[in-house]
Amino acid sequence: MNHDSPHESDEHDRDHAREHGHSHGGSELSEMDARVRALESLLVEKGYVDPAALDILIETYETKVGPHNGACVVAKAWVDAGFRARLLHDATEAIASLGYTGRQGEHMVALENTARVHNMVVCTLCSCYPWSVLGLPPVWYKSAPYRSRAVIDPHGVLRDFGVTLADGVELRVWDSTAEIRYLVLPVRPAGTEGWSEKELASLVTRDSMIGTGLPKSADTRRAA
């Protein structure tokens, strides 16, 4: 039922191949492969697109911008009370001070998890997500199951992630309907006193910054 799953198109291609009595070998292009290649060739020929720009865009979001950015923000907030205060007051400015700016992070808000409050972020209407700190969203974030349920049954969604909150914790959901982008500031794991920012950042998972997960425990890090 994961309608945004890219694997569906693979299945479709296999079905297509069966229907037409031929198999898709490794060199044969899928329907979308062929279509997007044709589109790129057309748009480059027309001069609307600079092909070198495409490569830079892909490289940027595949290798440079990702949840490691957000992990650095969270780790700094865990060790630096002044930065934490700035982050909660004006997240756009605080995050920019670490060098993370730009597309899909123009207007940032940080949501502080505490022993009593847990925040979870969704975009029910499309796939709004803080690219500048988390990179591109995972498939599940863009999928119908998550978008439909996060606002009505967030505890059920957390169960899908294997997360159970302590009794009495208030679960607050944030639907990203405008250009405000939300970053969850998770609770610092116990037993990490004296850890460096770099060590702490290694505990910060992408899901913990969306609110569908928790940071790794101190034990996880030591075992690794």
Question: Which part of the chain contacts another protein (CB under 8 A), choosing from 20-28, 83-91, 141-149, 183-191?
Answer: 141-149
CB nearer to another protein: give 79 or 180: 180
Smallest distance, Å, CB 224 to another protein?
Answer: 15
Considering the rule CB under 8 A, would residue 83 count as an interface residue with another protein? no
Can residue 28 be called a binding residue for another protein (CB under 8 A)?
no
State yes or no: residue 39 binds another protein (CB under 8 A). Answer: yes
Identity at 205, one-letter amino acid code: T
Q: For residue 10, give both structure tokens.
A: 């693979």
Among 17-25, 83-91, 149-157, 184-192, the segment contacting another protein (CB under 8 A): 149-157
Enclosing H/E stretch for 185 = strand 180-185
Q: In whole angstroms, what is the distance from residue 113 CA to residue 202 CA? A: 18
191 binds another protein (CB under 8 A): no
Annotated catalytic residue: which of 5, 30, 127, 143?
Answer: 127
CB of 79 to another protein, least distance (A): 26
Tell me how far apart the alpha carbons of residues 72 and 39 are, in angstroms, rounded to a whole number. 38
The closest alpha carbon to 209, from 80, 100, 73, belongs to: 73
Q: Which is nearer to another protein, 7 or 222 (CB)?
A: 7
72 given a catalytic annotation: no
User: Which residues lie below 8 Å from residue 66, measured CB to CB, with a gap of 6+?
Assistant: 134, 135
85 binds another protein (CB under 8 A): no
Interface residue with another protein among 17, 88, 98, 171 (CB under 8 A) is 171
Residue type present at position 96: A
Residue 90 lies near another protein (rule: CB under 8 A): no
Is 86 one of the binding residues for another protein (CB under 8 A)?
Answer: no
Neighbour count for residue 128 (Cβ, 10 Å): 22
With contacts defined by CB under 8 A, name the span among 15-23, 59-67, 78-86, 194-202 that binds another protein.
Answer: 59-67
- Under 8 Å between Cβ of 5 and 139: yes
SS3 97: coil
Burial of 217 (0-12, 13-18, 19+ CB in 10 A): middle
**Which residues participate in catalysis according to the annotation?**
123, 126-128
